């Protein structure tokens, strides 16, 4: 974030006037009281002992809190009001994992722009987003909140969301400060169990988990939130190496770092701090500038400084960072710049954007015999499933301020889409996703029998993903697969639409349905997006931002894995039943795969079908040998060989064949979403700087080595044309 000379001068001048207790007050964030202002809070505001509040959801109260702080305290330093605006404020956009499935960062930027306007009008100055934790584990419930398994894709989305929230000018009334979270390595929690231990070697920390945060910093992110997990024995919230050395010293971050909720105090439970006084000392030493909710700073920092255990310079640095953002937000000049008038309801433009993003995020996984798109002239359609007409669950995790009356459900949208001559036979079949109540099954089966096609809306309630909601089994919850199996016996073709916050292991039911649309949790405009795809107004174009395992036993499973010394060869079989009795020990081939499930995923990273077909041809390089200072120019022709205009996401992967540290078998290094008419061919080009083809050493240094590379261009991480090039000294 470029330093503004005037602001720096104002920060220094204000800091010089502050007493120690007022400085520490700026480092304290507390939760709102849902519209109430207890006397104790009023008094603390007057004494300058609070610098920020989160979740004050009553705009008028937010304004009154600001007035007290501005007019009744000695220095009148305004509060910064925060809120989790993760994928929309009033207009709820698809969950971030779904937004990543569009492979179009500009859409995430546009969504964040809308969210910023709506949240600012409700009196919030700061969102705790974007969440950019890379993860290889769909058991982890927070996979829903991030951008999936790839650091390159995740970095582009993280930067785009920061730009969307913050706009070009933080002080304008419809922009809010963003927050890069959770710093760092939270998605590496062992076992996919939230808050769990993370072991991350330094080279992997720099190659996989840090890059999205670096991208967010380069996009000017105003704040960073420390994570709950520990990294190699040191909690992320007390981690001098990651916060002070990398973020603040090496990257020169000049915004401020807020702890996650109570994550400072949790260092006692981690076994890293003795008591809250030790928490205060280790948090400020690591570089936590503001403490969210817990009270180590307000209770002990002043004493630690007075006793010379903590140098006041650390307090001054923290306070300058906080004041800098408050000045950039314009809170001093116009404390009520945020008008605190709630939007009556989402405007049409916002809803149209929400629909566009949802439409582009949905991934077509199967389309047997081109069942989709359906004809609108069908005589009868059965709409079944617990997610078919639920306006709440499709909003997904971390929906805080979206209203269910805004949601257009799939059932409503299908009814809107078809004419009066189509009979819509609706039954939920199950009251909610976890239900095992089979009492409606007979009726559902009957409706399926009398219909020409079944649209089955399955998935996860929103509570089953998100924070603290890891799952050990990733099947469809409840009795959904039982009902699908029973309906499949009727012989009526089934379109399965899955609405979930993570990849699910749906391998057991794939053969029982004819088509599958994976719609994630699509938000307010869930129904219209799905209906447009089902009836062919638009072709599906989403691509998976995360690998789908066949079963939990394959996890962690991700496309950019290492080759190992005994990579699995050919197509592995689920061969455990084929093993001859008393087979000779090494007769089965000694390679890295599971005897009972093979090694391929259910669906690979980058995968997604279309109603048309795309053909890749004529992959060529301008030169096949380049120096480190050069760039590789790549060209490929893509043709729409089908009969429908549609989008394709052209993806470019490389593999560094030999290096001083082993490199992944594939690395995404470029992608472009293009739209082609039937029979249209377009020449697509990429320019790949050799400087972007390096990796980090175990000392955390970035290097680019000479050597041979494979290069692929195709429609997913498994497909495509291949060529080779070399980086030469
Ligand atoms: C939560 C989450 C964090 C969120 C914060 C405030 O525990 O970990 O992502 O922003 O608390 O709600």
Q: What is the pLDDT of residues 217-264, one digit of tens each?
A: 999 999 999 999 999 999 999 999 999 999 999 999 999 999 999 999
For the record, the structure tokens of 488 come out as: 């499949």
Q: For residues 603 and 609, what is the distance between their CA atoms, to the nearest angstrom?
A: 11
Instruction: Please write the tens of the pLDDT for every residue from 128-177.
Output: 999 999 999 999 999 999 999 999 999 999 999 999 999 999 999 899 99
Instruction: Please write the tens of the pLDDT for every residue from 88-135.
Output: 999 999 999 999 999 999 999 999 999 999 999 999 999 999 999 999
Whether ligand 1 lies within 6 angstroms of the CB of 128 is answered as: yes
Going by alpha carbons, the residue nearest to atom 12 of ligand 1 is 84
For the record, the structure tokens of 512 come out as: 């029982």
- DSSP for 135-199, written as a single string: -S-TTSGGGGGS--S-HHHHHHHHHHHHHHHH-S-TTSTT--B-EEEEETTGGG-GGG-TT--B-
Burial class (CB in 10 A: 0-12, 13-18, 19+), 36: exposed
Going by alpha carbons, the residue nearest to atom 10 of ligand 1 is 128
pLDDT of residue 1: 47
Q: Is the pLDDT of residue 692 over 70?
A: yes
Closest CA to 147 of 162, 166, 132: 132
- Annotation says 6 is catalytic: no
Average pLDDT (670-697) is 98
Closest CA to 422 of 373, 380, 451: 380
Pocket probe for ligand 1: among 31, 80, 84, the residue whose CB has the most ligand atoms within 8 Å is 84
Cα–chain center distance at 460:
17
pLDDT band at 299 (very low <50, low <70, confident <90, very high): very high
Helices (H) and strands (E) in the chain, counts: 21, 26
pLDDT band at 465 (very low <50, low <70, confident <90, very high): very high
Cα–chain center distance at 405:
25
In the beta sheet, which residues pair with residue 459?
499
Whether ligand 1 lies within 6 angstroms of the CB of 186 is answered as: no
pLDDT of residue 534: 98
Q: For residues 20 and 24, what is the distance between their CA atoms, to the nearest angstrom?
A: 6
Whether ligand 1 lies within 6 angstroms of the CB of 149 is answered as: no
Q: Is the pLDDT of residue 3 over 60?
A: no
Q: For residues 244 and 242, what is the distance between their CA atoms, to the nearest angstrom?
A: 6
Instruction: Please write the tens of the pLDDT for every residue from 367-391.
Output: 999 999 998 889 999 999 999 999 9
Going by alpha carbons, the residue nearest to atom 8 of ligand 1 is 260
Residue listed under structure tokens 């005589």: 379
Whether ligand 1 lies within 6 angstroms of the CB of 195 is answered as: no
Q: Is the pLDDT of residue 574 over 70?
A: no
The answer to whether 386 and 430 are in contact (CB under 8 A) is yes
All domains of the chain in start order, with CATH: 348-534 (3.40.50.1700), 560-600 (no CATH), 614-728 (2.60.40.10)
Return the minimum-mean-pLDDT range out of 201-210, 587-596, 606-615.
Answer: 587-596
Helix axes 59-72, 39-46, angle to 10 degrees: 40
């Amino acid at each position: 974030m470029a330093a503004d000379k005037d602001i720096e001068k104002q920060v220094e001048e204000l800091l010089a006037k502050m007493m120690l207790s007022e400085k520490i007050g700026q480092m304290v964030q507390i939760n709102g009281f849902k519209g109430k202002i207890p006397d104790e809070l009023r008094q603390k505001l007057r004494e300058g002992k609070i610098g920020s509040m989160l979740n004050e959801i009553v705009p008028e109260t937010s304004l009154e809190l600001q007035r007290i702080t501005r007019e009744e305290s000695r220095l009148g330093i305004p509060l910064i009001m925060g809120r989790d605006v993760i994928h929309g404020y009033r207009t709820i956009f698809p969950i971030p994992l779904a937004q990543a499935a569009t492979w179009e960062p500009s859409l995430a930027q546009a969504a964040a722009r809308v969210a910023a306007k709506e949240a600012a009008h409700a009196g919030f100055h700061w969102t705790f987003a974007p969440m950019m934790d890379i993860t290889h584990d769909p058991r982890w419930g927070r996979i829903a909140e991030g951008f999936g398994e790839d650091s390159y894709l995740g970095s582009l989305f993280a930067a785009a969301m920061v730009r969307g929230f913050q706009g070009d000018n933080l002080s304008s009334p419809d922009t809010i400060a963003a927050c890069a979270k959770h710093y760092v390595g939270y998605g590496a929690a062992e076992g996919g169990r939230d808050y769990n231990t993370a072991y991350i070697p330094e080279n992997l920390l720099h190659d996989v988990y840090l890059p999205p945060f670096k991208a967010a910093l380069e996009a000017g992110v105003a704040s960073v939130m420390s994570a709950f997990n520990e990294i190699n024995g040191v909690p992320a919230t007390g981690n001098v190496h990651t916060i002070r050395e990398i973020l603040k010293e090496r990257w020169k971050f000049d915004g401020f770092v807020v702890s996650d909720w109570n994550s400072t105090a949790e260092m006692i439970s981690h076994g890293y701090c003795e008591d809250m006084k030790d928490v205060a000392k280790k948090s400020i030493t690591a570089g936590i500038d503001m403490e969210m909710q817990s009270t180590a700073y307000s209770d002990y920092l002043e004493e630690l400084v007075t006793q010379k255990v903590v140098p006041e310079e650390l307090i001054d640095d923290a306070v300058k960072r906080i004041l800098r953002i408050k000045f950039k937000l314009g809170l001093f000049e116009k404390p009520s710049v945020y008008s605190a008038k709630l939007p009556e309801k989402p405007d049409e433009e916002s809803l149209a954007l929400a629909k566009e993003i949802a439409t582009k995020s949905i991934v077509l996984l199967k389309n047997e015999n081109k069942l989709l798109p359906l004809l609108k002239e069908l005589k009868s359609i059965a709409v079944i499933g617990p997610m078919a007409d639920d306006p709440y669950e499709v909003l997904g995790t971390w929906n805080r301020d979206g209203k269910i009356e805004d949601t257009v459900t799939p059932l409503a949208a299908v009814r809107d889409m078809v004419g009066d001559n189509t009979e819509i036979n609706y039954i939920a079949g199950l009251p909610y996703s976890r239900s095992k109540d089979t009492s409606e099954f007979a009726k559902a089966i009957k409706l399926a029998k009398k219909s020409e096609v079944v649209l089955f809306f399955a998935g996860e309630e929103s509570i089953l993903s998100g924070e603290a909601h890891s799952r050990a089994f990733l099947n469809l919850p409840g009795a959904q697969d039982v009902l699908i199996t029973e309906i499949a016996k009727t012989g009526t073709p089934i379109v399965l639409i899955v609405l979930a916050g993570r990849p699910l292991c749906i391998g057991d039911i794939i053969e029982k349905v004819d088509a599958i649309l994976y719609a994630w949790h699509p938000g307010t405009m869930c129904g219209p997006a799905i209906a447009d795809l089902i009836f062919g107004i638009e072709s599906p174009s989403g691509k998976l931002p995360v690998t789908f395992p066949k079963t939990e036993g394959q996890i962690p499973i991700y496309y950019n894995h290492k080759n190992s010394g005994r990579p699995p060869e050919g197509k592995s079989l689920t061969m455990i039943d084929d093993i001859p009795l008393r087979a000779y020990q090494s007769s089965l081939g000694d390679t890295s795969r599971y005897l009972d499930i093979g090694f391929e995923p259910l669906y690979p990273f980058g995968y997604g079908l279309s109603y048309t077909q795309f053909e890749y041809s004529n992959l060529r390089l301008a030169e096949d040998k380049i120096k480190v200072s050069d760039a590789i120019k790549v060209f490929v022709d893509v043709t729409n060989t089908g009969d429908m205009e549609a989008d394709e996401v052209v993806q470019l992967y490389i593999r560094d064949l030999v290096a001083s540290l082993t490199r992944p078998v594939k690395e995404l290094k470029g992608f472009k979403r293009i739209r082609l008419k039937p029979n249209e061919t377009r020449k697509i080009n990429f320019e790949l700087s050799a400087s972007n083809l390096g990796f980090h050493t175990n000392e955390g240094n970035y290097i680019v080595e000479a050597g041979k590379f494979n290069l692929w261009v195709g429609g997913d991480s498994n497909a495509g044309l291949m060529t080779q090039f070399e980086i030469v000294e």
